[in-house]
Amino acid sequence: KQEVTQIPAALSVPEGENLVLNCSFTDSAIYNLQWFRQDPGKGLTSLLLIQSSQREQTSGRLNASLDKSSGRSTLYIAASQPGDSATYLCAVTQGGSEKLVFGKGTKLTVNP
Amino acid sequence: GAGVSQTPSNKVTEKGKYVELRCDPISGHTALYWYRQSLGQGPEFLIYFQGTGAADDSGLPNDRFFAVRPEGSVSTLKIQRTERGDSAVYLCASSPWDFASEQFFGPGTRLTVL
């Protein structure tokens, strides 16, 4: 059974800092990995999708990498801003299935 | 519409009652997914539709839960004889095709069972 773990559970940083969020998964037979952002009381906003054949994806200040063989992904946020404060979730699509398996998320607070 | 919409945004009901939660996917998206998110947890998969048919319902917790998508667009998640443990945020997502494509989520319905 696929399990997704996100470390740390919570992170607090000063504005302007570069930071890395970690995601690991137990079964490397995935189709893709998606990073989401969730604001309090809101739904999920898709940030980046990495296909299993890709190593990384970039969008603005965000860069996500994928090492499928080791079961790891990282989300790098450059020059963090208070508006980046949210919970960040990673999820994988398991081979042979369309469903996303999520981690519990990392709650990020960027202090002005 | 521009995104996935879900109604109602909040639903409060009493234990034992029946509830229906509605999801309107992005126009043209053939795949539709339901997830459930409890406080402090990541979303958990419930059911996936490709067109009108349920392609994977392995996440439905028991036979009190049922979902339909009769015309391949709007979907309704139905919960019979609600229990306090059903309280959660129910999220709907859609994607343009069924092979591991990006999923786009709605704002969710917060269900509270008293």
If DSSP states are collapsed to H, E and C, what string results for A28-60? CCEEEEEEEEECCCCCEEEEEEEECCCCEEEEC
Asked if A50 contacts A58 with a C-beta cutoff of 8 angstroms, the reply is no
Residues from chain A contacting residue B105 (CB–CB below 8 Å): 36, 43-46
**What residue in B sits closest to A88 (Cα-Cα)?**
B42
Choose among A42, A98, A104: nearest Cβ to B40. A104
Residue with more model confidence, A112 or B1: A112
Test A46 with B106 for CB contact under 8 angstroms.
no
Residues from chain A contacting residue B43 (CB–CB below 8 Å): 44, 89, 91, 100, 102
- Extract the residue ranges of chain A whose pLDDT is less than 70: none
> Å from A30 to nearest chain B CA?
9
**What residue in B sits closest to A38 (Cα-Cα)?**
B107
Q: Is B28 exposed, middle or buried (0-12, 13-18, 19+ CB in 10 A)?
A: exposed
* Lowest-confidence pick of B4-8, B18-22, B71-75, B95-99: B95-99
In this prediction, residue B98 carries a pLDDT of 57
Q: What is the rounded CA–CA span in Å between residue B45 and residue A93?
A: 11
**What residue in B sits closest to A4 (Cα-Cα)?**
B42
In this prediction, residue B1 carries a pLDDT of 52
Tokens for B84, please give them. 């306090």
Amino acid making up residue B68? V
Asked if B33 contacts B103 with a C-beta cutoff of 8 angstroms, the reply is yes
Test A101 with B99 for CB contact under 8 angstroms.
no
Of the pLDDT bands very low, low, confident and very high (cuts 50, 70, 90), residue B99 is low
Test B43 with A4 for CB contact under 8 angstroms.
no
In this prediction, residue B100 carries a pLDDT of 64
**pLDDT over 80 at B56, yes or no:** yes
